[in-house]
Amino acid sequence: MTELTHLSMAEALDGLRKKDFTATELTGAYVAAVEAARPLNAFIVETPEIALRQAKEADARYAAGTARPLDGMPLGIKDLFCTEGVQTTAASRILKGFIPPYESTVSGNLFRDGAVMLGKLNLDEFAMGSANITSHFGPVISPWSGKDPAGASRKLVPGGSSGGSAASVAGRFAIAATGTDTGGSIRQPASFVGIVGLKPTYGRCSRWGIVAFASSLDQAGPMTRTVRDAAIMLGSMAGFDAKDSTSVDLPVPDYQSFLTGDIRGLRVGIPREYRVDGMPAEIERLWQQGIDWLKAAGAVPVEISLPHTKYALPTYYIVAPAECSSNLARYDGVRFGQRVEGKDLQEMYENTRAAGFGAEVRRRILMGTYVLSAGYYDAYYLKAQKVRARIAEDFQKAYALCDVILTPTAPSTAFAIGEKQDDPIAMYLNDVFTVPASLAGIPGISVPAGLGSDGLPLGLQILGRPFDEGTVLKVAEVMEKAAGPQPLPPYAG
Amino acid sequence: MSLDKATVAKIAHLARIKVPEEDQEHLAQELNKILGWVEQLSEVDTSGVQPMTSVVAQTLRQRADVVSDGGYPDTVVANATDAAEHFFSVPKVVE
């Protein structure tokens, strides 16, 4: 049965249609794999009963010839998506025990299309982090740490914030997973574990029912083993939702139809500002390799300039904390979540929030409160929103000269748990290549492109025009083919 | 701009998070470091630039002003720590 967990989603769907195996068999294999992978700490809650019930329903539909697009696909759901009747915590102590009485639109869309839920995946607390080390439920260990990841002397991070999603897909104990990306939380972990991670255009997937971090940046997307799987899964996740005021009412194309392999004449922008100081030579080399691959397939590399790139991270670390301080004001111990009593209402709030939030979340709430407070709003928040407009304008200008943009995804391979933890800014630099696209709201994908000298995966990022996920996926698939089959992590189910 | 211990205490109060006094100095240092780093934004010429308020160019939709949801108070209060009948209860706020 183990080989069932090594199929891509496209292969598994094909096998189910051909009746090579049943959805119950496939889900059974994954339920066992999830259980075996417990030492990696990727799941906060496992839901095998739900999974097996959904698989049985999928089997009935396959038998009746009424199978749906994702019927029987065992997914992991990041624990930032509210799931009806199943604990949703955002990996925070403050939400421990919270059972949503409703389903997020995106997870609901996936289940409507037949997906099976294996459980809720670990993440950085409120999705704030780049290493999945800020979770109240403990860090996730990357399957790249060794054959026995939990026993490894150097336990590697899977990246973050979608660390459980990344680890489960790479480690072959979820066929695919949902992620969310605010500044790189899908793409950076995808790069760290050698999988595909797609952040769609802001507005493409509904944010309704996803625990909010920074509402002008948050976007859900698929984390998968192949580009084709990302195309399949995005087709189910995307779509207009009247319950999200920023959801965009555009038809959802058949993303698989873009995967033609034909990128002849397509202009690929290479931003000169992404050659940052101190970038490891191997990342520079891999980037060049990516340019060569696309060129060999008939694309035309074009040098472009995104002059405000270096200001993206500082802009992000004003805008995101500001929005987070506002969004997280709702955790007051009254309507849901944990409460710590105090002598009066004021003290009850203060005690509840002191006990409920971890160090990174507290730091960001305080930072956000400061930049929004009287006397500092103009100097920090307003200034950042203006620089953000400049960054978005850089991309608009660039897309007059090119169709997609190619960059590295992350400035390094995965590091170990415990490293980079003393200095928040060193941790923030992980997102140097992913944050600009988040600020501009444009789509981006990370595709595994090779290994670094330490034997760990490195991804390349392709950015596209707003709502042009199709072209992004097309180029990504060409690169995936050119890069060839990538090695599995030492722990793979 | 430098942020001191007293400012940390002030913003912690605004954010309704109790920060023990022994953490305030350390937090002030951390936040100052981040603020020093974001200071580089002052180099960017933003004269005449409108602050970005909408990521995707679109007008907010309107809908009819009618009740479209509700009628399940049990569900609404189901996750409250302290719900009395169909109310959220909190410590006494008026004497």
- Tell me the residues of chain B between 27 and 46 that have a Cβ less than 8 Å away from chain A: 27, 30-31, 33-35, 37-44, 46
Each residue of A353-396: pLDDT tens digit?
A: 999 999 999 999 999 999 999 889 999 999 999 999 999 999 99
Q: Do the chains contact at B92 and A383, CB–CB below 8 Å? A: no
Using CA coordinates, name the residue in chain A closest to B73. Answer: A101
Handedness of CA A15, A193, A431, A367 (dihedral sign): positive
Q: Is B62 on the interface with A (CB under 8 A)?
A: no
Using CA coordinates, name the residue in chain A closest to B32. Answer: A367
Each residue of B28-81: pLDDT tens digit?
A: 999 999 999 999 999 999 999 999 988 887 788 888 999 989 999 999 999 999
Tell me how crowded residue A330 is: count the other CB atoms within 10 A of its CB. 12
Q: Is residue B67 part of a domain?
A: no
- Residues of chain B found within 8 Å of residue A383, distances taken between Cβ atoms: 41-42, 46
Catalytic (active-site) positions of A: 78, 161, 185
DSSP string, A146-178: -SSGGG-SSPBP--SSSHHHHHHHHTTSSSEEE
Place of tokens 């922008």: A269
Q: Is residue B20 part of a domain?
A: yes
Question: With 90 as the cut, is the pLDDT of residue A427 above it?
Answer: no
CB B38 within 8 A of CB A318: yes
Q: Do the chains contact at B34 and A317, CB–CB below 8 Å? A: yes
Q: Confirm whether the ipTM is greater than 0.90.
A: yes
Each residue of A481-491: pLDDT tens digit?
A: 999 999 999 99
Q: Is residue B27 part of a domain?
A: yes
Nearest to B91 among A216, A348, A369 (CB): A348
- Residues of chain B found within 8 Å of residue A335, distances taken between Cβ atoms: 77, 79-80, 88
pLDDT at A1: 44
Give per-residue burial for A408-423: e unless 16+ CB within 10 Å, then b. Answer: bbbbbbbbebeebeee
- In chain B, the number of structural domains is 1
Q: Range of B26's domain?
A: 5-38
Question: With 60 as the cut, is the pLDDT of residue A68 above it?
Answer: yes
Place of tokens 């094909």: A14
Place of tokens 């997973």: A177
Tokens of B50: 């409108």
What is A2-263+444-483's CATH topology? Amidase signature (AS) enzymes (3.90.1300)
Residue scoring higher pLDDT (A427 or B87) = B87
Residue range A333-351: mean pLDDT, rounded: 95
Give per-residue burial for A350-361: e unless 16+ CB within 10 Å, then b. Answer: bbbbbebbbebb
Specify the amino acid at residue A171.
G
Q: Is residue B25 part of a domain?
A: yes
Each residue of A100-110: pLDDT tens digit?
A: 999 999 999 99
Using CA coordinates, name the residue in chain B closest to A376. Answer: B1
**How close, in Å, is residue B85 to chain A by CA atoms?**
13
Q: How many CB pairs under 8 A join A and B?
A: 159
Specify the amino acid at residue A1.
M
Residue B15 CA to residue B74 CA, distance in Å, equals 30
Each residue of A156-188: pLDDT tens digit?
A: 999 999 999 999 999 999 999 999 999 999 999
To the nearest whole number, what is the mean pLDDT of chain A? 96
Q: Is residue B9 part of a domain?
A: yes
